[in-house]
Amino acid sequence: MCGLVVAVGYTALPYGWVSLTVSTAVSAGSCVVMMAGTRRNRPASAGNWYLFVSGVATWILGDIVYAVQILVGGAAAFPSWADALYLGAYPMLTVALFRLTRERRTDRGFLSGNLIDSAIIGVGVGIVYWTFMIEPVVTDSSIPVLTRLVTAGYPTVGVLLCAVITPILLRRGPRSPSLWLLTAGSAITLAGNISYTLLPHAVDPVYLYAGYLVAYTCWAAAAAHPSMARPVTGDRDGLGRSRLLVLTGSTLLVPAVLLVQGEHGGGRVSWAAVAVGSMALFVLVATRMSGYVSRVDIQARQLRELAMRDDLTGLPNRRDFEQRATLAVQTAPCHMIMIDLAGFKHVNDRLGRAVGDQALIAVAELLRQSIRDGDVVARMGADEFAVLVHDTLPGDGEAVAGRLAEVLRHPVHAGEHELLLNARMGVASSAPSALPATSSGPRLSSISSSALPSSSTSSIADRAGTGSVSGASSGVSGVSLDGAAELIRRADTARYAAKTSGGQLVEYTPELDERTEAAERLGADLRHSLDDGDFQVVYQPIIDLRDDRPVAVEALVRWTHPVRGPVSPAAFIPVAEDNGLIVELGEWIMRTACRRLADWRTTLGAEAPLYISVNVSPRQLSEPGFPAVVLAILAETGLEPAALLVEVTETAIFGGGTAIEAVETLHRAGIRIALDDFGTGHSSLGLLRTVPVDVLKIDKSFVDEITEPGRRAVVVDALIHVCAGLDLRAVAEGVETAEQAEYLRELGYHYAQGYHFGRPVPDPITPVADTLPV
Ligand code: C2E
Ligand code: CA
Ligand code: CA
């Protein structure tokens, strides 16, 4: 700003010692400021700044020499020392400017785009200057050689300046304040040089000098600004529109010269210069373009790879997998295996994402090692993987699936942890012959479809006309395989069946689709029934074997489907569990049961059951607010915590995480905990020591053994000792005969429930005498 004012003032001064002093002060001051700025800001490119200052200083010296010559001798000699200084200054300035404005490049070794651009501009402009200004002077033998050389020197350095500064003006990307000032100073210098070279008499030298003074101060400010220490960043010599325009323009200068000379040159054509120039330009442009094209190529390839790869595991992602599967299905028979890690959520919850990530990487590595070359393993989603197996030989798919199942049965290592991830796998084959074969003889592991009602029965959704699930029947059994998507869907259906049945590996059969469909319909119907109040809670007495009197009741839910009639909880609880409705339904059951016990207490007094046993599903347990809901229900019904017993399954708490925390919270509050169906799940006696348990419910299958011919009551006998040793109460379930009851009594069992004592009914306690007329 200061420099600008001085420069404007300078133009008003008459040319003389005063103006010389002023201009020298400004220019020398600028040099000092540049030196000081470079010292203070410590840029990595300090050497270039010093070179730049040297260039400016040399130039200023030239100015002074020139001015002194005029003021002392009345006119400047030509050529003089001033010219030597000027011409010496330009190379320093241009080299320093080029290096100061060059971007930091990582991929060295390649000719930088900026350098080539400068060269293209230089050659283009150079041809023009050469043909019209330099060549005529240099070849004019009437002028002394030195004068010729010096005269030609100015347009030559002009070309240099133009070549270096034009790319700076056109560069894209952000400019720091320092770079802006550098650019501005350079632009002024370029303009000055062009006007001096092309039209020496058009501009009053005073304005020219004033312009240079402004340029000096711009440069001084550029060096003083702290941002000068930052490396220059940009879009790495990308080809902007204006830059492309200038480069094209520069290349067109050569034919333009030919044209002008041909028209007006009287037959004199600088064919040598034009030819050499065009060749040089051609090579430069080709180099520039090939560098650019190969970079675009590399970037395109990187982008493609990124889009097809899973970041965490490095496996192909879903998109890539689907493309490969599409190709594979068209060419040869293959097997699709879908895998999901049921235990993964717990790992993430309990041990954190970092361990979860390690586990996924470990699984990815295991899978990669377990497949053959040519087969594909991919990560499809958070904890989902897929494997495509080419059936080179019959049975390949089954073999790989079996091997993967075996590998995934073992714990994986993640950091210092050993994690059991509970992989569920579904397999589907693309071979058409596989369909009828499997549908006639299901090869499912641990799936019984009898629990679900037939899909041909109409549903509430149909009846209500919502159509949400009706008409979804696809009649899959007769449909031919339409590509990879269908194969993936089938494997996914099988995987889902593995998940709901608790199995590890399930092979797809068309009837799985019917099951899935029936489950979906049932889920929709559950929603309607929950709103319409089609549910009821029934109670089965729990008996004290020592006096055969009921001490408690277990609450069991009943659903009367408006169309189908009664539906077994064994059929709809898993569905409600899966679609989340169990949370709402379970809360309703809990509230209903607790209210019921409170009612019995007021009507029956001492005859009321001591406590009520309520089944709680895994999904409810892992719901974060579950313990609070239970405590609120106890508070609103006025029951003390000991009046409630919560039945959970071993499987629900085996996974750990929120479920175990919920059980612990409930137990701390005074609510008792029972392990239901004990002996059928994971049956880890270790669980009994780590989880607070008060009651073991011995599964009906062990009670059945008592009276089965040829079998002895080994398990019930052993379990009563376990309970005694761990100070747990044992309740034998499913007692159907007096003989079983007697045997259990002899073994030392105190509590039992079963049809022998009473079925689950709406009102098991009210004494018969009360309801009958006397
Ligand atoms: P569970 O908790 O083991 O319940 C005992 C099941 O055995 C009940 O079947 C009951 O009616 C039946 N049962 C009782 N005594 C005998 C007997 O002597 N012989 C035979 N054959 N069966 C007997 P239900 O009511 O059909 O319930 C089946 C399962 O559904 C339950 O097994 C439980 O896991 C689940 N469930 C039932 N009600 C609820 C509920 O309110 N909430 C939750 N989360 N699950 C429930
Ligand atoms: Ca139960
Ligand atoms: Ca049970």
Task: Write the single-letter amino acid at 590.
Answer: M
Whole-number Å distance between alpha carbons of 554 and 552: 7
Q: Which residues pair with 612 in a beta bridge?
A: 553, 644
Q: What is the pLDDT of residues 480-533, one digit of tens each?
A: 456 889 999 999 999 988 887 778 899 999 999 888 888 889 999 999 999 999
Cα–Cα–Cα angle for 140, 142, 146, nearest 5°? 80
**Residue 497 one-letter amino acid:** A
Nearby residues for ligand 3 (ion, Cβ within 5 Å) = 676-677, 733
Which residues surround ligand 1 with Cβ inside 6 Å?
Answer: 540, 555-557, 568-570, 573, 586, 589, 615-617, 676-677, 734-736, 753-755, 760
Q: Could you tell which of 448, 538, 556 is best to mutate to test the pocket of ligand 1, judged by most ligand atoms within 8 Å of the CB?
A: 556
- Ligand 1 atom 22 nearest Cα: 734
Cα 723 to ligand 3 centre (Å): 17
Q: Is the Cα dihedral 661, 664, 670, 676 positive or negative?
A: positive
Report the pLDDT averaged over residues 720-749.
95
CATH code given to domain 318-523: 3.30.70.270
The alpha carbon of 676 and the centre of ligand 2 are apart by a number of angstroms equal to 5
Measure the CA–CA gap between 330 and 487, rounded to whole angstroms: 12
Whether the predicted pLDDT of 9 surpasses 70: no
Q: How far is the CA of 733 from the centre of ligand 2 (A)?
A: 9
pTM for the full model? 0.55
* Top mutation candidate among 615, 619, 649, 675 for ligand 1, by most atoms within 8 Å of CB: 615
**Residue with CA at minimum distance from ligand 1 atom 8:** 556
For 608-623, give the DSSP string.
S-SEEEEE--HHHHTS
Task: Identify which ligand lies nearest to the alpha carbon of 585.
Answer: 1
CATH C-level class of 533-752: alpha beta
Rounded to the nearest angstrom, the distance between the alpha carbon of 736 and the centre of ligand 1 is 14
Cα separation, 535 vs 559, whole angstroms:
5
Q: How far apart are CA 458 and CA 721, in angstroms?
A: 50
Distance 676 CA to ligand 1 centre (A): 10
Residue type, 605: G
Phi-psi region of 499 (alpha: psi -120 to 50; beta: other; left: phi over 0): alpha
Q: Is the pLDDT of residue 459 over 90?
A: no
Please give the structure tokens belonging to residue 619. 């999904």
- For 266-314, what is the HEC assignment? CCCCCHHHHHHHHHHHHHHHHHHHHHHHHHHHHHHHHHHHHHHECCCCC
Report how far ligand 1's centroid is from the alpha carbon of 195 (Å): 100
Average pLDDT over residues 258-285: 81
Tokens standing for residue 598: 């409170």
Dist. CA 273 → ligand 1 center (Å):
101
The string of pLDDT tens digits covering residues 618-643 is: 999 989 899 999 999 999 999 999 99
Please identify, by atom number, the ligand 1 atom nearest to the C-alpha of residue 699.
3
Residue nearest to atom 32 of ligand 1 (CA): 570
What are the residue ranges spanned by the domains of the chain? 1-101+171-236, 108-153+239-307, 318-523, 533-752
Per DSSP, the three-state class of 188 is helix
Ligand 1 atom showing the smallest separation from residue 647 Cα? 2
**pLDDT per residue as tens digits for the range 741-765:** 999 999 999 999 999 999 999 998 7
Ligand 1 closest atom vs CA 568: 26
Distance 721 CA to ligand 3 centre (A): 20
Give the atom of ligand 1 at the shortest distance from the alpha carbon of 677: 3
C-alpha radius of gyration, the chain, whole number: 45
Work out the percent of the chain whose per-residue pLDDT is above 90. 37
The Cβ of residue 710 has, within 10 Å, a number of other Cβ atoms equal to 5
- Å from CA of 590 to ligand 2 middle: 13
Q: Are strands 565-567 and 549-561 parallel, antiparallel or unpaired?
A: antiparallel
Sign of CA dihedral 18, 19, 22, 23: negative
586 CA → ligand 3 middle, Å: 17
Nearest CA to ligand 1 atom 21: 734
Pairing of strands 549-561, 505-507: unpaired
Q: How far, in Å, CA of 249 to CA of 252, rounded?
A: 5
Beta bridge partners of residue 110, listed in sequence order: none
Phi, psi of 393 (to 5 degrees): -120, 155
DSSP state of 104: P
Longest dimension (CA), the chain: 150
Distance, CA 42 to ligand 2 centroid (Å)? Answer: 78
Quote the CA–CA distance of 243 and 293 in Å, as a whole number.
16
Q: Note the helical H segments in 101-143.
A: 113-129, 135-138
Partners of 106 in beta bridges? none
Most confident of 204-213, 220-229, 361-370: 361-370
> Is-same-fold flag (318-523; 533-752)?
no
* Ligand with an atom nearest the CA of residue 680: 3
In degrees, rounded to 5, the angle at the alpha carbon of residue 631 between the alpha carbons of residues 595 and 572 is 65
Joined together, the tokens standing for residue 458 give 């109409």
Which residue is associated with the tokens 């009046």?
A: 643
Position 687 scores a pLDDT of 77
Task: Find the mean pLDDT for residues 420-441.
Answer: 67
- The pLDDT, as a whole number, for residue 248 is 85
How far apart CA 692 and CA 446 sit, in angstroms, is: 30
Share of the chain above pLDDT 70, in %: 87
Atom of ligand 1 nearest to the CA of 755: 18
Of the listed ligands, the closest to the CA of 554 is 2
Give the per-residue pLDDT at 597: 97
**Burial, 454: exposed, middle or buried (Cβ in 10 Å; 0-12, 13-18, 19+)?**
exposed
Q: Using CA atoms, how far apart are residues 203 and 418, in angstroms rounded to an integer?
A: 84
Ligand 2 mean position, distance from CA 732 (Å): 11
Beta-sheet pairing, 751-752 with 549-561: unpaired
Residue 665, CA distances (Å) to 484, 628, 658, 726 in order: 48, 9, 10, 21
Amino acid at 414: A
Which residue has a Cα nearest atom 23 of ligand 1? 734
552 Cα–ligand 3 center, Å = 15
* Number of alpha carbons in the 13 Å side-chain half-sphere of residue 82: 16
For 314, the token pair is 């490095």
**Which amino acid residue places its CA nearest to atom 42 of ligand 1?**
615
The closest ligand to the CA of 542 turns out to be 1
**Does residue 630 contact residue 586 with C-beta atoms inside 8 Å?**
no
CB–CB of 66/76 below 8 Å? yes
Q: Locate 497 and state its tokens.
A: 């069946």
Provide the 8-state DSSP code for 111: P
Nearest CA to ligand 1 atom 15: 754
Closest ligand 1 atom, residue 538 Cα: 25
Cα–Cα dist 520/512, whole Å: 12
Please tell me what DSSP assigns to residue 692.
Answer: -
At residue 539 the predicted structure's pLDDT band, cuts being 50, 70 and 90, is: very high
Atom in ligand 1 nearest the alpha carbon of residue 733: 15
Residues at Cβ < 5 Å from ligand 2 ion: 615, 647, 676
Compute the distance between CA of residue 60 and CA of residue 54 in angstroms, rounded to an integer: 10
Q: Residue 83 has what pLDDT?
A: 86
pLDDT at position 477, please? Answer: 35
DSSP class of 719 = H
Residue 667 confidence class, pLDDT cut points 50, 70, 90 = very high
**Helix, strand, or coil here: 486?**
helix
Amino acid symbol at 160: L
